[in-house]
Amino acid sequence: MTEERVETNASQPPEQAIEEQLALQKETTEATVEEVTEQALTTEQLQAKISELEEQLAQARAEAEDYRERWLRVLADYQNYRRRVMQERKEAYDEGKKEAVLALLPVLDNLERALASLREGADLSAYRQGMELIVRLFQESLRRMGVEPILAEGQRFDPYYHEAFERVEREEVEEGTIVGEIERGYRMGERVIRPAKVRVAVKPAPQLTAPEGEAGGETECTNAT
């Protein structure tokens, strides 16, 4: 069979052999074109895949930045909440101290009044010394709690620290000056626990005098009578 085919090929005219060679080259060329086309398609697919991955990476970065901003906002809110809670806790603690001081102040007031009533009793000096010691200890306890008395007598009246209990006419004192303390006031820092009840100086009201003409008329009427 092979020998017959070779002989047949050998016996073919040159034109037919050329045509067969051209056909073979055409087939080879088409196969090469198909292969190159497949490679080109593979490159396009690769580029498409790279673009898809780059898009996913950009999306992941955007999501990460969004999560970061949310975390920063949550952290800021937590810090504000923590400061607010600490401030409220401090205010509640100060309010508790204030209530404790208010409960103790009447005792101190009574002790101070007892000392004032004993100043004339020379025979009760030992009792007075004991009372003075109690008052000093009580005042020291208040100072340790940050409680201080409000200055009153001789000071300018301040409605934030003082409560006007009585107005007293004083010619020699500037109006608005505190000339007496009825009940001592106390403060904790700048916070008033109890204002001081005080007497405040005012200028005396002018005396009303009758005109000279009216006074003379009254005298004449009296003499006539």
**pLDDT for 2:** 41
The DSSP result for 150-171, as a single string, is: PP-TTSBP-TTTEEEEEEEE-S
Kindly list the structural domains of the chain, giving each domain's residue range(s) and its CATH number in brackets, ordered by start. 148-207 (2.30.22.10)
CA 92 to chain centre: 15
Beta carbons of 181 and 166 less than 8 angstroms apart = no
- Model pLDDT, residue 104: 79
DSSP state of 223: H
Alpha-carbon distance 142 to 104, whole Å? 9
pTM of the full structure:
0.48
Of the candidates 149, 156, 159, the one whose C-alpha atom is nearest the C-alpha of residue 193 is 149
Instruction: Determine the pLDDT at residue 120.
Output: 57
10 Å CB burial of residue 143 (0-12, 13-18, 19+) is exposed
Q: What is the pLDDT along the chain (225 residues), one digit of tens a residue?
A: 444 444 445 555 666 667 677 777 767 776 676 666 666 657 777 788 888 888 888 888 898 999 999 999 999 999 999 999 999 998 888 888 888 888 778 888 877 777 776 665 555 676 777 778 888 888 888 888 888 999 999 999 999 999 999 998 888 889 999 999 999 999 988 899 999 999 999 988 777 665 665 544 444 444 443
